[in-house]
């Protein structure tokens, strides 16, 4: 008789304790390559979510006064622990999300860079001082924490995006309530364990799980002062509007339809390698992927070679060595991607490479779709207008770079774009004329390092300030301006001053 395998449950983190939820609503965390149930994640009750916020509010009273050096040392320790546990974190991520192991390590590493940045908070959270703005008067500013902040993170980067959020919020003196994606919360919880091990005090970091009710509670709760969101445009717009209406700060990084322009003078093989990697890496499940390429002039002749290079990519489970394209995150995602590919065929696009229904030995139940390439795509087609979020590349053609720029600027989204060229003049013209937040010149995925801020624009972003970098320090702090004058003990008082002018 075979014993039934006990399925572990994902815990809540409230006031420094990992606790079992009392909810009756659960969701399975499923390995997308095998359909194995890895764990069960709770949709937290209202009382549990309120307890998490209350814990954060109580902890803020002392955490906000913790010396800045003590906060920095916690994140120095935290980055060390992440490095020491990199392989384990990547393995968890691959199992629940589907990424290849190298891509999973990259996911963790890009979050680790923000943790390292948070350790320098002593330099990042400096105010300003002006001496003698008037006779004997000085003015200075303080960047003080807001209070309880919250973050809502997506399934596609379950390590990186949480690490974009809570380290900078906590380093600046706030406390935090995190709601990770219910599809793959396990690596996030392991990161939370390491955060406590690094010395984050009870209540400073709390983690809840759930769906729409959890999102709405974060947007509505009067004790939450700021909300950070990364995910779909539909949910992000809801979060921004609801949180803003409730008087909260909000930053929402949302949908994308990124484009690359290829000029005929570009380095051919490097460009083709970059296009294939950025379009099909992570199974296309990146908000900064390149799902659209515009071939200009003579570069249109490169299309057959692009297709042949895409054919060489290996589709397999992310844990298997040599895998280039792993499974997409869920059966629903697979069905949607396959449906959009069929829609492209029906609308008249030319399907040069069909990645549907690949045969993957040993993983016949996996959510696999291989590299897919369409040509003869027009901007009124569904496959161009919608964010497919899968390994599907749409190829457009243009006679000139300005024609290609006009296509990009007409798209409602402005997350990222790239130009491939050897011409400095063309590159400068491109960066000046393009209306997109993040621009790559011979760089296919121009995500900035943490010393700069993530700067998506137009329909890809709501809110003035982006995650990490200098902007996020502004987002998580409020400026207090102090104007002061001290009188000498023997100073003789002057006449009564009925104006507000300082002299």
Catalytic positions: 287
How high is the pLDDT of residue 496? 67
Distances (CA, A) of 468 to 60, 140, 463: 21, 25, 14
How far apart, in whole angstroms, are the C-alpha atoms of residue 487 and residue 501?
Answer: 17
Cβ neighbours for 358, distance < 8 A, ≥ 6 positions apart: 315, 368, 369, 370
How high is the pLDDT of residue 448? 87
The topology (CATH level 3) of 12-254+469-482 is Aldehyde Dehydrogenase; Chain A, domain 1 (3.40.605)
How high is the pLDDT of residue 497? 64
pLDDT in tens, 5-35: 699 999 999 999 999 999 999 999 999 999 9
Q: What percent of the chain has pLDDT over 90?
A: 89
pLDDT higher than threshold 50 for residue 501? yes
pLDDT in tens, 59-109: 999 999 999 999 999 999 999 999 999 999 999 999 999 999 999 999 999
How high is the pLDDT of residue 90? 98
How high is the pLDDT of residue 456? 85
How far apart, in whole angstroms, are the C-alpha atoms of residue 162 and residue 186?
Answer: 12
Phi, psi of 223 (to 5 degrees): -90, -5
pLDDT higher than threshold 60 for residue 1? no
How high is the pLDDT of residue 423? 97
Q: CA torsion angle for 263, 267, 271, 273 (degrees, to 10)? A: 160
SS3 146: coil
pLDDT higher than threshold 60 for residue 502? no
Predicted confidence band of residue 380 (pLDDT cuts 50, 70, 90): very high
How high is the pLDDT of residue 503? 55
Phi, psi of 414 (to 5 degrees): -145, 45
pLDDT in tens, 279-315: 999 999 999 999 999 999 999 999 999 999 999 999 9
pLDDT higher than threshold 90 for residue 457? no
How high is the pLDDT of residue 136? 87
Average predicted confidence (pLDDT) for the chain:
95
pLDDT in tens, 245-276: 999 999 999 988 999 999 999 999 999 999 99
Residue 326 tokens, joined = 């792993």
Q: CA torsion angle for 263, 268, 269, 271 (degrees, to 10)? A: -10
pLDDT higher than threshold 90 for residue 325? yes
pLDDT higher than threshold 70 for residue 169? yes
Domain 259-441 maps to which CATH number in 3.40.1130.10, 3.40.1190.20, 3.40.309.10, 2.130.10.30?
A: 3.40.309.10
How high is the pLDDT of residue 499? 64
Predicted confidence band of residue 500 (pLDDT cuts 50, 70, 90): low
How high is the pLDDT of residue 455? 86
Distances (CA, A) of 161 to 9, 157, 164, 187, 383: 22, 6, 5, 12, 27
| H or E element, residue 461 | strand 461-462
pLDDT higher than threshold 50 for residue 2? no
Phi, psi of 135 (to 5 degrees): -60, 110
Cβ neighbours for 178, distance < 8 A, ≥ 6 positions apart: 150, 151, 153, 162, 165, 166, 188, 192, 205, 206, 207, 208
Cβ neighbours for 277, distance < 8 A, ≥ 6 positions apart: 444
How high is the pLDDT of residue 454? 87
pTM of the model: 0.94
Q: Where do the domains of the chain lie? A: 12-254+469-482, 259-441
Predicted confidence band of residue 498 (pLDDT cuts 50, 70, 90): low
| Residue 335 CA, distance from chain mean position | 24
């Amino acid at each position: 008789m075979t014993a039934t395998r006990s399925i572990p449950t994902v815990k809540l983190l409230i006031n420094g304790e990992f606790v079992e939820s009392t909810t009756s609503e659960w969701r399975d965390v499923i390995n997308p390559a095998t359909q194995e149930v890895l764990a069960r994640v709770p949709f937290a009750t209202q009382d549990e979510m309120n307890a998490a916020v209350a814990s954060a509010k109580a902890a803020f009273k002392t955490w906000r006064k913790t010396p800045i050096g003590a906060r920095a040392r916690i994140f120095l320790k935290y980055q060390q622990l992440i490095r020491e546990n990199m392989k384990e974190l990547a393995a968890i991520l691959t199992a629940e999300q589907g990424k290849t192991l190298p891509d999973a390590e990259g996911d963790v590493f890009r979050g680790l860079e923000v943790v390292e940045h948070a350790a320098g908070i002593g330099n990042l959270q400096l105010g300003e001082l002006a001496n003698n703005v008037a006779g004997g008067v000085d003015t200075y500013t303080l960047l003080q924490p807001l209070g309880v902040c919250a973050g809502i993170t997506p399934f596609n980067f379950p390590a990186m995006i949480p690490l974009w959020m809570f380290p900078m919020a906590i380093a600046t003196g706030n406390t935090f309530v995190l709601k990770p994606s219910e599809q793959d919360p396990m690596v996030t919880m392991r990161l939370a364990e390491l955060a406590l091990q690094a010395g984050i005090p009870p209540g400073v970091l709390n983690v809840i799980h759930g769906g729409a009710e959890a999102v709405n509670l974060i947007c509505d709760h009067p004790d939450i002062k700021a909300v950070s969101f990364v995910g779909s445009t539909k949910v992000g717009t809801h979060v921004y509007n609801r949180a803003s209406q409730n008087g909260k700060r909000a930053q929402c990084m949302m949908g994308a339809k990124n484009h690359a322009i290829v000029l005929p003078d570009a380095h051919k093989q490097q460009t083709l390698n970059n296009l294939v990697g950025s379009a099909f890496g992570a199974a296309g499940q990146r908000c900064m992927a390149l799902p659209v390429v515009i071939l200009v002039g003579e570069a249109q002749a490169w299309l057959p070679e692009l297709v042949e290079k895409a054919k060489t990519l290996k589709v397999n489970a992310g844990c298997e060595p040599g895998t280039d394209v792993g499974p997409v995150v869920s059966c629903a995602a697979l069905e949607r991607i396959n449906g959009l590919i069929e829609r492209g065929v029906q609308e008249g696009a030319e399907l040069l490479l069909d990645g549907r229904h690949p045969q993957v030995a040993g993983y016949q139940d996996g959510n696999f779709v291989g590299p897919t390439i369409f040509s003869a795509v027009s901007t009124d087609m569904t496959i161009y207008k919608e964010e497919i979020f899968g390994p599907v590349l749409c190829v457009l053609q243009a006679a000139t770079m300005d024609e290609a720029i006009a296509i990009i600027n007409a798209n409602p989204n402005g997350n990222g774009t790239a130009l491939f060229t050897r011409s400095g003049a063309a590159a400068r013209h491109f960066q000046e004329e393009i209306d997109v937040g993040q621009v790559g010149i011979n760089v296919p995925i121009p995500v900035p390092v943490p010393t700069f801020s993530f700067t998506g624009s137009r329909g890809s972003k709501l809110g003035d300030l982006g995650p990490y970098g200098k902007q996020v320090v502004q987002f998580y702090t409020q400026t207090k301006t102090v104007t002061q004058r001290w009188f000498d003990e023997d100073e003789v008082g002057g006449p009564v001053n009925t104006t507000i002018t300082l002299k």
